[in-house]
Structure 1
Amino acid sequence: MRLLGNLLWLILGGFCMGIAWWIFGVIAFVSIVGIPWGRACFVIGLFSFIPFGKEAIARDELTWKKDIGTGPLGLIGNIIWFVFCGLWLAIGHLFSALVCFITIIGIPFGLQHLKLAGIAIAPIGKTIVSKEVAWAARATNASAVVAGKRRHT
């Protein structure tokens, strides 16, 4: 089912938006200063080509460790990203989502475009994993939070 979804996805805007991510990645690499953003563009561009079965998750939610991308510098990086690239990629995904929402069969694809638009706004500090890994990380985090609340009551 994931294979069929990903094949239809490429036709319904995924291919064009994946190329757009990679174009911004090349521009970022050419600027030298933008190499960290360029790397993220290529990773998320690949995710944009094959989104079904995968999910973006915050790295600190996955690893329980703060790093440069999940702290204050990550916030600054996301602001710079949004101004130069993120806004345009988010608009592209929003436009693609609207086109997909025209038909009933396109609704799941439109929802994927909306997820990618959210990632386009702030990709620094995120990583792409399988849905199962994301679910397991969130379940573990939820259990830890509940256990911590129980200790404090």
Structure 2
Amino acid sequence: MKTIGNIIWLIFGGLLTAVEYILASLVMMITIIGIPFGLQTLKLGILALWPFGKTVTDSGGSSGCLCLLMNIIWIFIGGFWICLTHFVFGLLLCITIIGIPFGRQHFKMAALALTPFGKEIQ
């Protein structure tokens, strides 16, 4: 079932979303300051490519204050808008019964888009 959901996801917008995240990641990695943010956008792109069957968990390591500071910067730079977009798409998809699994994937991506530092995709 995960494979079918991922294939449908790819056909109806997942591939385009993943390509956008990966391109944004490459643009951010041009500067040294943008590399950490580019890596987090790459994490979002990987999840957008094949979301069914993956979970987002907190990393077990001691992330500390740097992780918190980077998440705050991320939220102000654009993470809030990315999260809001995934949340709205999730709400729209949950209107129909068929769209509920896809809406849940958008909610998972919204949580990761709000605070990606200190999170792992498994």
Shift of 1:12: 4.1
Matched, 1:126 2:106: no
The residue that corresponds to 2:99 in the other structure is 106
Q: Is the 8 A contact 1:93 1:113 kept in 2?
A: yes
Secondary structure of 2:55's counterpart equals: strand
Q: Which stretches of structure 1, 4 residues or more, deviate above 4 A after TM superposition? A: none
Aligned position for 1:21: 21
* Mapped pair 1:91 → 2:93: no
Q: Distance in 2 between matches of 1:123 and 1:93?
A: 14
- Structure 1 distance, partners of 2:81, 2:27, is 14
**Which runs of no fewer than 5 residues in structure 2 stay unpaired?**
none
Over alpha carbons, which structure has the higher Rg? 1
- TM-score, normalised with respect to structure 1: 0.72
Q: Does the CA contact (< 8 Å) of 1:10 and 1:49 recur in 2? A: yes
- What is the TM-score when the length of structure 2 is the normalising length? 0.88
Question: % of aligned pairs identical?
Answer: 39
Q: 1:23 deviation in Å?
A: 3.5
Q: 1:114 to 1:124 in 2, by over 3 A?
A: same
Equivalence for 2:68: 75
Residue 7 of structure 1 corresponds to 7
1:21–1:89 Cα contact (<8 Å) kept: no
Q: In structure 2, what residue type is equivalent to 1:104?
A: I
Shift of residue 105, structure 1, vs aligned partner = 0.3
